[in-house]
């Protein structure tokens, strides 16, 4: 045996040398799919002999596709997935032992793998060497090569034939029979369509109806008595001039931006909290709200408005103030809901990019590119590759949406596995509710943190050595969670100030990553099934040639320029359509977020193109377009019903009459305050969410108990502090508890939150904001916890892109009008306002109708009111009804349908 | 690569044979070396598939992973191995200080915070490409200044 073994050994040495030499020749000149040098022979040998056996034996059981396990989202059975890592991050970073979590785990540092038995030092050392040499790994994933079913010819054909993918062309102004009817050129398009269908428009609406329409459409408020009288007089002389003058007046009003800014906030899914399972507040989101309102008020060109929100951080700025506004604008990309408890970091990042991509393309281009995340778009010529081409731009962007870090790190909440920092503004404009701390207070908070850390250590020590399911262990876990929540609140306070205790100014927003990169396609959108890389680009059907992205940049600047370009076939059309929809009740393209083949075709395609080009020519001025539409004949058509016309065009697509519309939630609430004489037109600074600070919202409460009791050193101190807060709030709010179910009184007195919530006597801490008198656009918008006054009247779902709100008529709305404290308070104020103005019952009735409906009561209504008064209160037989009857009457007028309808 | 395939196949076969041949002790190796080899293989040996490591007294599976339930003797052995730099099988003042510092830093990281000079737990706040994002930048992230208009 010995000679044969010896001979074999020599032969093998010779053969190995030859073979390895050949391998070296092949391997050392090659590169892998990611462009890295292919491993050398020695490196492969090292891997095969030292690393792979260990992985197979110790790791694959829980981290490989063969066993179907991927604990912690981690797979270790191929190179790409080891680099991708799991929920904690990449398992291997070639050349970097410190960043390679697999080394951390097998050396039993912060992780301990394998869990049952530590590997020997020699093996751990082998892994270290392997990582340092670049982690050579011949286990290349069979990268799927996804092929699209959508060919270049399909895309080219769609560009040639489908209307939305062709640039707008100025149409010829149509000839019409009735030249006396139009007031604007757009009227000629409308009339031409009606005449072609042998229809004619109805008469104009009454002057009071036109004014009411203009006021609600432009500023979201009813006309004042003075405005009504002035307008009616002017209308009698010259209706066109009256309308034009009033439009100009309303467009100059600051309330215009609040009204039209809110339309944009619906699209931008604006909210002041994250929503979903971890509903953390965003105390700096209000800056974006104010940015949008101000942008509309100054009539910022729409192309610029778009560019700022996509790439404001990259735009030149003439000074720090402008730079700050540009940064705040990028909150548009940071506002979306996120799965903060997602364990897999790669999944979270992919979902974030997807949300940003979807919002941007649907809002600004009316195109659902995100439908191509998992497969080719089913209906549009958008291959899956195009989705990932665009996703690469967003994946190369760092998004900041969380809480400022303190010297203790970034603590974003106990369940928050995807924490984030905030952008520091280059100007001093802190959140007005951020406290300035003295040095003693800073020391106290720091001491609180250190004490809390010690408490956690002690809790963990107390819970160890006993069964994990024991009552003591569970109590200690709860204790740890509570302490961590407290630490997160204190850390957010410390992070909000500088070393001198002065508040720092922050905003949400984005920045380019240090190393932008293309995205890899994913089979069926699955994060662990990578396919080929795709260069960053725009959807082919929407652009003429591949985009040229500047080196080292994400491509967002290029994306912003492309969307805002007048050569983009969709941008102007989509925005003009939205403006039309808000003024006329429905867009020329009814599907405002879908200009694709499954959306609605435009009812007036030439008119759409005409308006789009006019919009661009005006310098992308939204006010100009609003003026154009509001001064048209089409806008002031009556909503009168006509059977013959209705039978021919029941949906009014040809615009033969005006559309009766229900007021939206903000207009209803603002109108109630307006008629009661309690509406405060002053913009409040920041928001209630900013006041509450960083916290997790539950049960509609914005009381940040942890923050309010931060200086209490123990539970007794915290209870005393809460008692004081409750007494103070109770003194501020003497009204009864609102209509929200209140079973919190039944909670244990040991539950600090329950005690606080249960003993509250007012609703000001709840997101309902019953006592707030500012405009509804400034109410706190907390996902899943909307103010009831908004929620019940079809407010836009703040987690979604909403171009057009739904309109419903439900018993809840009627019950709200009858029972809600907000309505009752303001009905009382309306009654008192009228009672103080005049003592005559007839005059009071007249005033009530003028204030609520802008008109005098009819004879039938006077009779009905007389009957109501007599029935409601026996004392009504007296000359002056008691106040309670007036209040009831006021409430009845507010609750009636006419109050909530634009005719 | 394809033209070298026959040679590569032969090579793979040889390597396999070679590994097999190497499993047997070489008869002409001195006994001391044989003993050393066996000891080395024992140290390097990982649990064979299906084999469960012997559980020391007091171990109870998942509870082992909790620090309080570790075998103190094992822990002491690990600490000695890690911090005994001069190899005298005991910790002098310097080595003991290093060990205490290490334990303190680990404790601080475990409670979820990072004191001054400590970095947060690896893997936390990492972007999907493995690079650490600036989530822990105190005072917020300072944005890059754009070009002047």
Helix (H) or strand (E) holding A512: strand A509-512
At A158 the pLDDT is 94
> Rounded to a whole number, what is the distance in angstroms from the first to the last CA of chain A?
105
Token pair in block for residue B106: 């680990």
A861 Cβ partners below 8 Å, 6+ apart?
A849
Around A457, how many Cα atoms within 13 Å sit in the side-chain half-sphere?
Answer: 15
Helix (H) or strand (E) holding A770: none
Among A2, A19, A109, most B C-beta atoms within 10 A, so best to mutate, is A19
In the 8-state DSSP scheme, what is residue A534?
E
Complex ipTM more than 0.95, yes or no: no
Residues 94-153 of A with CB under 8 A from B: 98-99, 101, 104, 108-110, 112, 115-123
**CATH code at A423-507:** 1.10.287
At A652 the pLDDT is 95
Q: Look at B21 and A9 and tell me if their CB atoms are within 8 Å.
A: yes
Q: Look at A22 and B46 and tell me if their CB atoms are within 8 Å.
A: no
Token pair in block for residue B8: 């590569």
Distance CA B140, CA B143 (A): 9
Instruction: Determine phi and psi for A362, rounding to 5 degrees.
Output: -75, -40
Helix (H) or strand (E) holding A21: helix A2-28
At A751 the pLDDT is 38
C-alpha angle with apex A696: A695 to A701, nearest 5 degrees?
90
At A437 the pLDDT is 92
Helix (H) or strand (E) holding A863: helix A859-872
A170 Cβ partners below 8 Å, 6+ apart?
A609, A610, A613
Specify burial of residue A482 (Cβ count, 10 A radius: 0-12, 13-18, 19+).
Answer: middle
Which of A355, A336, A335 is CA-nearest to residue A347?
A: A355
Token pair in block for residue A787: 């103010």
A193 Cβ partners below 8 Å, 6+ apart?
A603, A604, A654, A655
C-beta separation of A851 from A830 below 8 A: yes
At B124 the pLDDT is 41
Buried b (16+ CB within 10 A) or exposed e, A46-76: bbeebbbebbbebbbebbbeeeeebebbbbb
Which residue of chain A comes nearest to B81, CA vs CA? A121
C-beta separation of A340 from A417 below 8 A: yes
At A258 the pLDDT is 98
Q: Look at A104 and B142 and tell me if their CB atoms are within 8 Å.
A: no
A706 Cβ partners below 8 Å, 6+ apart?
A485, A486, A489, A490, A695
Q: Look at A461 and B122 and tell me if their CB atoms are within 8 Å.
A: no
Q: Which pTM value belongs to this model?
A: 0.78
A565 Cβ under 8 Å from any chain B Cβ:
no
A413 Cβ partners below 8 Å, 6+ apart?
A278, A280, A340, A419, A485, A488, A696
CB count in 10 Å sphere of residue A32: 15
**pLDDT category of residue B100 using cuts at 50, 70 and 90:** confident
At A517 the pLDDT is 87
Distance CA A891, CA A872 (A): 13
At A764 the pLDDT is 42
Buried b (16+ CB within 10 A) or exposed e, A762-800: bbbbbbbbbebbbbbbbbbbbbbbbbbbbbbbbbbbbbe
**Positions of chain A with pLDDT under 50:** 1-7, 15-29, 733-764
At A760 the pLDDT is 42
Strand partners, A696: A280
A89 Cβ under 8 Å from any chain B Cβ:
yes
Q: How far is CA B118 from CA A250, A407, B107, in A?
A: 58, 10, 11
Token pair in block for residue B26: 């070489």
CA distance A389 to chain B (A): 17
Distance CA A206, CA A178 (A): 22
Alpha helices in A253-343 (DSSP H): 254-267, 286-297, 302-311, 320-329, 331-334
Helix (H) or strand (E) holding A87: none
Buried b (16+ CB within 10 A) or exposed e, A732-756: ebeeebbbeeeebeeeeeeebbbbb
Q: How many helical (H) and strand (E) elements, i.e. helices and strands, does chain A have?
A: 36, 10
**Interface size, chain A vs chain B, as Cβ–Cβ contacts under 8 Å:** 220
Q: Which candidate from A18, A98, A504 shows the least CB-CB separation from B7?
A: A18
CA distance A779 to chain B (A): 27
For the cut 60, the answer to whether the pLDDT of residue B54 exceeds it is: no
CB count in 10 Å sphere of residue A23: 21
A5 Cβ under 8 Å from any chain B Cβ:
yes
Q: Look at A99 and B8 and tell me if their CB atoms are within 8 Å.
A: no
Which of A395, A417, A155, A127 is CA-nearest to residue A278?
A: A417
Distance CA B124, CA A821 (A): 46
Distance CA A577, CA A95 (A): 54
Distance CA B19, CA B14 (A): 8
Helix (H) or strand (E) holding A194: helix A185-196
For the cut 60, the answer to whether the pLDDT of residue B76 exceeds it is: yes
Distance CA B146, CA A318 (A): 10
Residues 316-355 of A with CB under 8 A from B: 316-318, 322-323, 326-327, 345-346, 348-350
Token pair in block for residue B66: 């909790």
Q: Which candidate from B113, B132, B149 shows the least CB-CB separation from A453?
A: B113
Rg (CA), chain B: 26
């Amino acid at each position: 045996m010995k000679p044969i073994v010896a001979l074999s050994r020599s032969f093998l040495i010779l053969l190995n040398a030859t073979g390895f030499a050949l391998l070296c020749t092949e391997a050392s000149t090659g590169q892998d799919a990611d462009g890295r040098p292919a491993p050398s022979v020695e490196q492969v040998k090292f891997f095969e002999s030292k690393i792979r056996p260990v992985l197979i034996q110790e790791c694959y059981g829980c981290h490989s596709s063969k066993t179907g396990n991927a604990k912690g989202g981690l797979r270790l059975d191929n190179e790409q997935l080891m680099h991708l890592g799991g929920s904690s991050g990449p398992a291997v970073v070639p050349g970097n032992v410190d960043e390679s979590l697999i080394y951390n785990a097998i050396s039993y540092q912060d992780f301990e793998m394998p869990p049952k038995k530590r590997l020997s030092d020699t093996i751990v050392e082998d892994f270290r060497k392997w990582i340092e040499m670049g982690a050579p790994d011949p286990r290349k994933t069979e990268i799927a090569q996804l092929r699209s079913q959508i060919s270049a010819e399909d895309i080219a054909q769609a560009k040639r034939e489908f209307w939305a993918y062709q640039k707008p062309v100025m149409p010829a102004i149509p000839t019409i029979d009735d030249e006396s009817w139009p007031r604007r050129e757009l009227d000629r398009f409308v009339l031409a369509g009606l005449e072609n269908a042998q229809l004619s428009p109805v008469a104009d609406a009454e002057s009071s109806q036109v004014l009411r329409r203009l006021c609600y459409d432009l500023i979201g408020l009813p006309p004042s008595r003075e405005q009504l009288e002035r307008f009616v007089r002017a209308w009698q002389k010259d209706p066109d001039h009256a309308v034009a003058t009033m439009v100009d007046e309303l467009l100059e009003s600051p309330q215009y931006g609040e009204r039209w800014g809110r339309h944009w906030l619906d699209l931008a899914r604006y909210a002041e909290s994250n929503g979903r399972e971890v509903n953390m507040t965003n105390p700096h989101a209000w800056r974006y709200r104010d940015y949008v309102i101000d942008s509309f008020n100054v009539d910022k060109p729409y192309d610029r408005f778009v560019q700022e929100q996509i790439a404001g951080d990259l735009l030149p700025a003439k000074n720090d103030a402008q730079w700050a506004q540009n940064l705040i604008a990028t909150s548009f990309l940071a506002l979306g809901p996120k799965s903060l408890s997602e364990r897999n970091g790669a999944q979270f990042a992919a979902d974030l990019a997807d949300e940003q991509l979807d919002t941007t393309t649907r809002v600004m281009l009316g195109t659902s590119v995100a439908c191509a995340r998992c497969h080719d778009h089913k209906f549009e010529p958008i291959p899956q590759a195009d989705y990932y081409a665009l996703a690469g731009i967003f994946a190369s962007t760092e998004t900041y949406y969380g809480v400022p870090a303190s010297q203790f790190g970034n603590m974003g909440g106990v369940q928050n596995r995807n924490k984030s920092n905030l952008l520091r503004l280059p100007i001093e404009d802190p959140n007005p509710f951020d406290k300035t701390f003295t040095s003693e207070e800073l020391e106290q908070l720091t001491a609180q943190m250190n004490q809390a850390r010690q408490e956690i250590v002690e809790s963990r020590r107390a819970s160890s050595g006993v069964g994990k399911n024991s009552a003591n262990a569970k109590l200690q876990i709860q204790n740890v969670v509570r302490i961590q929540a407290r630490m997160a609140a204190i850390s957010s306070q410390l992070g909000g100030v500088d070393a001198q205790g002065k508040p720092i100014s922050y905003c949400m927003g984005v920045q380019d990553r240090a190393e932008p990169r293309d995205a890899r396609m994913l089979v069926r959108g699955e994060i662990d099934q990578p396919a080929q890389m795709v260069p960053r680009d725009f959807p082919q059907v929407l652009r003429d040639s591949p985009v040229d992205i500047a080196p080292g940049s994400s491509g967002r600047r290029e994306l912003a320029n492309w969307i805002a370009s007048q050569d983009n076939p969709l941008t102007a059309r989509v925005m003009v359509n939205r403006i039309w929809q808000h003024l006329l009740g429905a867009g020329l393209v009814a599907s405002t977020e879908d200009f694709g083949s499954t959306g609605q075709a435009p009812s007036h395609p030439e008119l759409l193109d005409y308006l789009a080009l006019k919009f661009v020519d005006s310098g992308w001025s939204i006010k100009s377009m609003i003026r154009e539409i509001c001064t048209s004949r089409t806008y002031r058509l009556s909503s009168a019903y006509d059977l013959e016309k209705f039978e021919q065009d029941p949906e009014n697509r040809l615009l033969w009459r005006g559309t009766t519309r229900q007021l939206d939630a903000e207009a209803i609430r603002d109108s109630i305050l307006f008629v009661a004489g309690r509406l405060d037109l002053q913009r409040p600074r920041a928001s209630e969410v900013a006041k509450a600070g960083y916290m997790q919202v539950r049960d509609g409460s914005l009381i940040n108990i942890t923050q309010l009791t931060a200086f209490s050193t123990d539970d007794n101190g915290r209870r005393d502090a809460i008692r004081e807060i409750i007494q103070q709030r109770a003194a501020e709010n003497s009204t009864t508890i609102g209509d929200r179910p209140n079973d919190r009184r039944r909670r244990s007195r040991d539950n600090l939150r329950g005690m606080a919530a249960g003993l509250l006597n007012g609703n000001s801490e709840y997101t309902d904001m019953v006592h707030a008198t500012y405009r509804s656009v400034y109410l706190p918008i907390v996902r899943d916890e909307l103010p009831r006054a908004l929620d019940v009247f079809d407010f836009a779902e703040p987690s979604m892109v909403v171009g057009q709100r739904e309109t419903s008529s439900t018993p809840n709305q009627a019950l709200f009008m009858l029972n809600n404290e907000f309505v009752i308070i303001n009905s009382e104020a309306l009654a008192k306002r009228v009672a103080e103005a005049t003592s005559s019952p007839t005059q009071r009735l007249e005033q009530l109708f003028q204030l609520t409906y802008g008109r005098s009561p009819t004879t039938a209504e006077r009779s009905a009111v007389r009957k109501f008064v007599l029935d409601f209160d026996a004392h009504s037989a007296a000359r002056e009804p008691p106040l309670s009857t007036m209040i009831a009457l006021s409430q009845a007028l507010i609750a009636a349908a006419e109050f909530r309808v634009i005719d | 690569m394809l033209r070298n395939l026959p040679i590569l196949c032969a090579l793979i076969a040889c390597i396999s044979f070679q590994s097999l041949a190497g499993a047997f002790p070489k008869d002409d190796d001195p006994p001391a070396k044989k003993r050393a080899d066996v000891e080395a293989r024992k140290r390097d040996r990982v649990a064979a598939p299906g084999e469960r490591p012997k559980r020391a007294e007091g171990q109870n599976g998942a509870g082992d992973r909790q620090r309080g339930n570790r075998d103190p003797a094992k822990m002491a052995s690990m600490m000695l191995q890690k911090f005994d730099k001069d190899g005298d099988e005991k910790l002098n003042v310097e080595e003991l200080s290093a060990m205490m510092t290490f334990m303190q830093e680990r404790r601080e990281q475990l409670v979820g915070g990072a004191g001054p000079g400590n970095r947060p737990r690896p893997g936390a706040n990492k972007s999907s490409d493995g690079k650490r994002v600036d989530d822990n930048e105190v005072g917020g992230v300072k944005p890059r200044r754009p070009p002047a208009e």
